[in-house]
Amino acid sequence: MSLFAKFERVAAARQALDSKGPAPIATPIESVHSATRGRIDGREVLLAGTNNYLGLTFDQGVLEAAGSALRGLGSGTTGSRMANGSYDGHRALEQELAEAFGWPSAMVFSTGYQANLGALSTLAGRGEYLVLDSDSHASLYDGARLSQAETIRFRHNDPDNLDRRLARLGTDASKALIVVEGLYSMLGDQPPLHEFVEVKERHGAWLLVDEAHSFGVFGERGLGLTESCGLLDRVDFVVGTFSKSLAGLGGFCVSPHPEMNHMRLASRPYIFTASPSPATIAGTRQALALLLDGQALRAQLERNYRRLYAAAADMGYQLGSTTPGPVAAIILPDRETALAHWHGLLEAGVYANLMIPPATPAGLNLLRISMSAAHSDEDVDTIIAALAELSVPVSA
């Protein structure tokens, strides 16, 4: 048996997607000209699959801050936060994140994936429990695997099912960390956060909200679904990423519990990874300032995604969520139909994401469109027109 034999099934699935033209998975983007324009297969396309929710990747202030740090502090730290990788900028960004939430504790990680890996694997250990929504991101499941805690899954967005899981733990529920997301990136749906908070408080458990795709999008100051629901004083941890609305690379964990700072001494993904580059940190700090004062950007983003949702529903497409948000997931009946729709959009000059099993929940085949505040009314018109040209499946 070869070590590579276990990859045969996924390799066959990838090969089945091969066809003439650009690859639908890991699509080569030859160049990016702006937050909304790039070049694929030799021609300009409208970017509608980038998670660039506030459109800040080409903001002049963000670019200047990153460029200045690159020239003044070098290309990288060449060390972890626990060694030589804690620059003034890293500490300043943590303070700015903590102040944004009004909380005492914040940690910056090198990626959003590592923020989840580092938080979950450190917060819950042997004799404790991680209680995960079944549709949780892979990074959350991997954090649970790295942890020595017992992992318990509950049905997606189901507070009653969570309630029953915690009830079985009895008094041990006080040693359980519940994990939900503010916006699920595959289907674009949101959790019933009020109900989850009530269940958490009833059992004396803890709650972590992953706001990776909702940070910058929801809330008056863009702090995510937790803020927009008025629940900042009733959750225990928020994790997020710099690679969506903050237009960079990295991640964070914030908490109202000052004891979270002790995690720095125990979180292996934090201790043993080189810290983010000075340019990344400087650009993220500038983007964070724009995000916190970005009410106009959020209003434009909401106008864009509400238009898209309404139009797609009117055409008869089945959407992954009934609540409009920046991710519009169109559910298609099979892989062939999803692939054809992906190619059809690209032919019309619109780049979106093809999402197929095993990366999707419940084995769904999805065409995923992510909207941006940088999309103009004409851009939204273009996306809607491209969808209208495709044949809407009778059922998915």
- Please, which residues bridge with residue 353 across strands? 368
The residue out of 292, 309, 336 marking a domain boundary is 292
131 φ, ψ to 5°? Answer: -115, 105
Domain count, the chain: 2
User: Residues 121-137, buried b or exposed e (16+ Cβ, 10 A)?
Assistant: bbbbeeebbbbbbebbb
Sequential DSSP letters for 355-385? E-TTSSGGG-EEEEEE--TT--HHHHHHHHH
Same domain, 180 and 131: yes
The pLDDT score that the predictor gives to residue 9 is 84
Whether residue 165 contacts residue 132, with contact meaning beta carbons closer than 8 Å, is answered with: no
What pLDDT shows up at residue 16?
A: 76
User: In the prediction, which pLDDT does 17 show?
Assistant: 78
Do residues 39 and 64 share a domain?
no
317 shares its domain with 214: no
Tell me, what's the pLDDT at 11?
83
Question: CATH code at 97?
Answer: 3.40.640.10
Which CATH number belongs to the domain containing residue 25 in this structure?
Answer: 3.90.1150.10
Contact 365, 290 (CB under 8 A): no
Per-residue model confidence (pLDDT) at position 392: 82
| Single pTM value for the model | 0.95
Domain boundary among 271, 292, 313: 292
- DSSP string of 15-75? HHT--SSS-SSS----EE-SSSEEEETTEEEEE-SS--TT--TT-HHHHHHHHHHHHHH-S
- pLDDT average per 10 residues of sequence, the chain (396 residues): 86 76 89 98 96 98 98 98 96 98 98 98 97 97 96 98 98 98 97 98 98 98 98 98 98 98 96 97 98 98 98 96 97 93 96 92 94 98 97 66
Token digits for 388?
A: 């209208």
Domain boundary among the residues 268, 292, 316 is at 292
CA distance 93 to 251: 11
Looking up tokens 């400087």 gives 282
Instruction: State yes or no: cis peptide before 269, omega within 30 of 0.
Output: no
**Three-state SS letters, 196-232:** HHHHHHHHCCEEEEECCCCCCCCCCCCCCHHHHCCCC
The pLDDT of residue 248 is: 97
Confidence (pLDDT) at 19 = 66
What's the order of all strands across the beta sheet hosting 150-154? 105-109, 251-255, 237-241, 206-210, 176-181, 129-133, 150-154
> Is the CB of residue 208 less than 8 Å from the CB of residue 178?
yes
Is beta strand 365-370 parallel, antiparallel or unpaired with respect to 353-355?
antiparallel
Any bridge partners for residue 80, and if so which? 274
User: Which structural domain range is residue 272 located in?
Assistant: 60-292
